[in-house]
């Protein structure tokens, strides 16, 4: 049985979308159980309409719901200890749930998750990992926006976190890991990336195969299983790619509507377009996973529909089922035990 | 008459591609004249086959050709004063040409351009500007990789340079300008972007309309005419978008080949697919413009074919024809004359 706590109020549509989404998960994953948090007046009516979901869920009323446009500091001030978002995260901390899913605002969810769960030992800053569809299948890209800037050690930590996730979700023994960089050599700056490369090469971890630097177009090619970068560039890469996909879909729609022959061709090739649409369907890859915390939190897109929200919940479910957490812990322990720095200078801070 | 100097040796294919590319330009722009630099044994045979091009070109032999994998420092050491790349750039400095085009390696071209032409007064670092196709038309994105990291003043300079280019190329009176940022508020770091936003708002320049922050997916939407960012994030945004476009083209090709009906539909909708292909044709938007130097230099993609190289040359042609250079100079003078800092602290360094 896998228990998942849900901030039912999160997202642009709240319980009207999140709850039917959960029902879809329940149909596909019979051992899933839900712990719901939200306002009684908003959640109860929807839950009453869905008896199959009600039967496998616990519901707790919360007065406060974090708004989508609340600033993280504001959300913490007003929603700590009592909002549906906080309660859902807290359920992971207390062991009431194995993972927490929210479609609420990213900044608030990250701030509360850090405050409530705290980071894993040896991890200074959490990352948000996205699953990125590629020509070869899927890759993991992190960080896509949790923190701006990262030093070499943090990039190495992200590599370890991402590799553990790839290992668990994609079932690859030693996932390949690349550091996102620009192609031009001898360029000023980004010393952190070069230093992280040296560290990863020296560490020669069993849990991954360090590939070297990759460029922006390597992500979609699927050159590596895990692409590591700091949050500013990662977020911009993700959103640029999403923007391009939408742009091409728009071009395609226009082109197929322009002439009678095109429309006829479109009808005949309908099945093919359907498959293409499925490949490009962002709903199916919905969910940013917060890595590096003492518990699993998945952020669903705020505008996700039922199927999109279900995908995010299933991502959390898979993370639990595949034991990502323990694998990550094991690699981190191994890395930090072997690391010369841990034996020398920073031993104090790690004990 | 517009005179363009060409590093005929640049690119993966050298004169076999660059020269036929120039012939295409000559056919479309009758007032274009060329100043060619390259090795006699490589250029002369091709030029002899193209009498129409020969008639409007001057050719100068150069012993050295910068290789595609030379490091910038190596290229400078071995190719300064004498390589075809250097000579082509130098022709702009001496006034022999109005703009220089090379498909040679980016790092070397930038290093030589900086060394030979130097930056404009008040501009500390040059930027590479890319023309990005959007749903609304085209936008300019800079910097896409000239320099890693940029402080607030440099971002403001990029905004002025990009706006002048948009004003000239797109014929917009006051181009809209956005600073690339991540969506999450109250996030650590990237103070430079926030500070640049404050500076642009205060400056209230007549030459642009400062829109505010934009995110990665705003680029493809065409939310603003000019997107400003530092080179690391800009390069990664550009390459991620290119990668996504190629990935979707690959999906589409696969989908249309899978069944008989799909293939039939594809045949019927052939014209529509053709239009789509043209829209997605990276050749048509080939060319990274070096901005902020005392002369116009355009970098063509190394792998560009004849049409791709021609597009880069025509971009240089348009830059000259539209008077980008003088417009930029005028805006810079105005900005730096009005800037309080110029009157106070930094007056010494600017006189």
What structural domains and CATH numbers belong to chain B?
1-123+293-323 (3.40.718.10), 124-291 (3.40.718.10)
Mean pLDDT confidence for B127-132: 94
User: Cα distance from B112 to chain A (closest Cα, Å)?
Assistant: 14
pLDDT band, very low/low/confident/very high, at A350 (cuts 50, 70, 90): very low
Binary contact (A106, B184; C-beta < 8 A): yes
Binary contact (A271, B261; C-beta < 8 A): yes
| Separation of alpha carbons B84 and B11, rounded Å | 12
Q: Is the peptide bond before A8 cis (omega within 30 degrees of 0)?
A: no
pLDDT band, very low/low/confident/very high, at A286 (cuts 50, 70, 90): confident
Predicted pLDDT of residue B213? 92
User: Cα distance from B82 to chain A (closest Cα, Å)?
Assistant: 22
User: Cα distance from A54 to chain B (closest Cα, Å)?
Assistant: 35
B107 to chain A: closest CA residue? A184
What are the tokens at A303? 């505008």
Q: Which residues pair with B210 in a beta bridge?
A: B177
Using one digit for the tens of pLDDT, what is the confidence trace for B5-37?
999 999 999 999 999 999 999 999 999 999 999
A255 to chain B: closest CA residue? B272
| Separation of alpha carbons B119 and B116, rounded Å | 9
Binary contact (B148, A190; C-beta < 8 A): yes
Give the residue carrying structure tokens 């500390």.
B124
Binary contact (A244, B72; C-beta < 8 A): no
Segment of A346-350, B66-70, B264-268 carrying the highest mean pLDDT: B66-70
Question: B63 pLDDT exceeds 70?
Answer: yes
Binary contact (B186, A71; C-beta < 8 A): yes
Predicted pLDDT of residue B349? 40
pLDDT band, very low/low/confident/very high, at A246 (cuts 50, 70, 90): confident
Residue B184: list chain A partners with CB under 8 A: 72, 106-107, 110, 145, 235
What is the value of ipTM here, to two decimals?
A: 0.85
Size of interface A-B (CB pairs under 8 A): 254
Q: Indicate left, alpha or beta for A186 from its phi (over 0: left) and psi (-120 to 50: alpha).
A: left
Residue A180: list chain B partners with CB under 8 A: 236
pLDDT band, very low/low/confident/very high, at A334 (cuts 50, 70, 90): confident
| Separation of alpha carbons A160 and A337, rounded Å | 14
Question: B261 pLDDT exceeds 60?
Answer: yes
What are the tokens at A152? 């070499």
Mean pLDDT confidence for B101-119: 95
Across the interface, of B71, B73, B236, the residue whose CB is closest to A236 is: B236
Predicted pLDDT of residue B280? 66
| Separation of alpha carbons A141 and A122, rounded Å | 21
- Determine the 3-state secondary structure of B234 from DSSP: helix
Q: How many residues does chain B have?
A: 351
* Degrees to nearest 5, angle at CA A108 with A9 and A111: 135
User: Cα distance from A277 to chain B (closest Cα, Å)?
Assistant: 10
Binary contact (B276, A255; C-beta < 8 A): yes
Candidates A240, A261, A277, partner chain B, best to mutate (most B CBs within 10 A): A240
| Separation of alpha carbons A264 and B268, rounded Å | 7
User: Cα distance from B201 to chain A (closest Cα, Å)?
Assistant: 23
Residue A238: list chain B partners with CB under 8 A: 216, 240
A74 to chain B: closest CA residue? B186
Binary contact (A185, B240; C-beta < 8 A): no
Contact B138, B132 (CB under 8 A): yes
pLDDT band, very low/low/confident/very high, at A184 (cuts 50, 70, 90): low
Contact A49, A70 (CB under 8 A): no
A269 to chain B: closest CA residue? B262
pLDDT band, very low/low/confident/very high, at A332 (cuts 50, 70, 90): confident
Q: Which of A43-47, A139-143, A290-294, B240-244 has the lowest mean pLDDT?
A: B240-244
Distances (CA, A) of A269 to A120, A277, B251, B261: 50, 12, 14, 6
The distance from CA A215 to its chain's CA centroid, rounded to whole angstroms, is: 21
Residue A256: list chain B partners with CB under 8 A: 269, 272
pLDDT band, very low/low/confident/very high, at A185 (cuts 50, 70, 90): low
| Separation of alpha carbons B159 and A63, rounded Å | 46
Residue B149: list chain A partners with CB under 8 A: 188-190
Across the interface, of B186, B233, B261, the residue whose CB is closest to A72 is: B186
List, in order, residues 6 or more apart from A108 with CB less than 8 Å away: A66, A70, A71, A72, A75, A76, A79, A85
Q: Is the peptide bond before B108 cis (omega within 30 degrees of 0)?
A: no
What does the mean pLDDT of chain A come to?
89
Across the interface, of B182, B266, B273, the residue whose CB is closest to A232 is: B182
A109 to chain B: closest CA residue? B184
Candidates B265, B274, B275, B276, partner chain A, best to mutate (most A CBs within 10 A): B265
Mean pLDDT confidence for A62-90: 93
Q: Which of A111-125, A188-202, A211-225, A289-303 has the lowest mean pLDDT?
A: A188-202
Across the interface, of A188, A262, A275, the residue whose CB is closest to B147 is: A188
List, in order, residues 6 or more apart from B249 with CB less than 8 Å away: B280
Using one digit for the tens of pLDDT, what is the confidence trace for A258-280?
778 777 877 777 777 777 777 76
Mean pLDDT confidence for B119-142: 92
Binary contact (A269, B264; C-beta < 8 A): yes
Report how far apart the first and last C-alpha atoms of chain A are (Å, whole number): 34
Using one digit for the tens of pLDDT, what is the confidence trace for A124-181?
999 999 999 898 889 999 999 888 889 999 999 999 999 999 998 998 999 999 999 9
Predicted pLDDT of residue A349? 40
Report how far apart the first and last C-alpha atoms of chain B are (Å, whole number): 35
Mean pLDDT confidence for B52-61: 97
| Separation of alpha carbons B261 and B263, rounded Å | 5
Binary contact (B242, A279; C-beta < 8 A): no
User: Cα distance from A234 to chain B (closest Cα, Å)?
Assistant: 8
Residue B281: list chain A partners with CB under 8 A: none
Higher per-residue pLDDT: A88 or A251: A88
Mean pLDDT confidence for A47-55: 96
- Helix (H) or strand (E) run with residue B298 in it: strand B296-299
Q: Which of B21-35, B220-234, B254-268, B323-337 has the lowest mean pLDDT?
A: B254-268
Longest dimension (CA), chain B: 74
Contact A269, B262 (CB under 8 A): yes
What are the tokens at A283? 């709903």
CB atoms within 10 A of CB A177: 27
User: Cα distance from A185 to chain B (closest Cα, Å)?
Assistant: 7
pLDDT band, very low/low/confident/very high, at B282 (cuts 50, 70, 90): low
Across the interface, of A110, A182, A243, the residue whose CB is closest to B219 is: A243
What does the mean pLDDT of chain B come to?
89
Residue A261: list chain B partners with CB under 8 A: 268-272
Across the interface, of A134, A148, A185, the residue whose CB is closest to B187 is: A148
Q: How many CA atoms lie within 13 A of B92 on its CB side?
A: 30
Contact A301, A10 (CB under 8 A): no
Binary contact (B216, A238; C-beta < 8 A): yes
User: Cα distance from B242 to chain A (closest Cα, Å)?
Assistant: 6
Binary contact (B248, A248; C-beta < 8 A): yes
The distance from CA B304 to its chain's CA centroid, rounded to whole angstroms, is: 14
Helices and strands per DSSP (H, E), number in chain B? 16, 11
Question: B141 pLDDT exceeds 60?
Answer: yes
Binary contact (B215, A183; C-beta < 8 A): no
Candidates A77, A137, A178, A244, partner chain B, best to mutate (most B CBs within 10 A): A244
Residue A189: list chain B partners with CB under 8 A: 147-149, 232
């Amino acid at each position: 049985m896998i228990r998942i706590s849900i901030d039912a109020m999160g997202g642009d549509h709240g319980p009207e979308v999140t709850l039917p989404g959960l029902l879809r998960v329940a149909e596909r994953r019979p051992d899933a159980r839900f712990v719901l948090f939200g306002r009684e007046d908003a959640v109860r009516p929807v839950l009453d309409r869905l008896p199959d979901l009600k039967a496998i869920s616990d519901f707790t009323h919360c007065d406060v719901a974090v708004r989508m446009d609340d600033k993280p500091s504001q959300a913490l001030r007003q929603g700590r200890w009592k909002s549906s978002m906080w309660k859902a995260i807290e359920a992971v901390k207390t062991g009431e749930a194995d993972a927490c899913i929210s479609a609420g605002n990213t900044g608030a969810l990250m701030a509360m998750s850090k405050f409530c769960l705290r980071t894993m030992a040896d991890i200074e800053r959490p990352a948000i990992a996205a699953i990125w569809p590629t020509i070869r299948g899927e890759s993991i890209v992190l960080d896509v926006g949790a923190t701006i800037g990262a030093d070499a050690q943090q990039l190495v930590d992200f590599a370890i976190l991402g590799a553990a996730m790839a290992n668990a979700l994609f079932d690859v023994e030693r996932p390949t890991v690349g550091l996102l960089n620009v192609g031009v050599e001898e360029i000023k700056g980004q010393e952190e990336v070069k230093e992280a490369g040296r560290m990863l090469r020296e560490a020669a971890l069993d849990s991954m195969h360090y590939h070297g630097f990759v460029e922006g177009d390597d992500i979609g090619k699927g050159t590596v299983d895990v692409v590591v970068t700091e949050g500013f560039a990662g977020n911009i890469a993700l959103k640029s790619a999403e923007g391009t996909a939408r742009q091409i879909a728009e071009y395609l729609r226009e082109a197929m509507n322009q002439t009678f022959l095109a429309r006829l061709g479109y009808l005949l090739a309908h099945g093919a377009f359907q498959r293409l649409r499925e490949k490009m369907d962002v709903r199916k890859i919905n969910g940013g996973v917060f890595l590096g915390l003492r518990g699993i939190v998945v952020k669903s897109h705020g505008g996700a529909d039922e199927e999109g929200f279900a995908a995010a919940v299933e991502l959390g479910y898979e993370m639990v089922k595949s034991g990502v957490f323990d694998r990550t812990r094991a690699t981190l322990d191994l890395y930090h035990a072997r690391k010369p720095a841990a034996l020398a200078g920073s031993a104090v801070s790690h004990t």
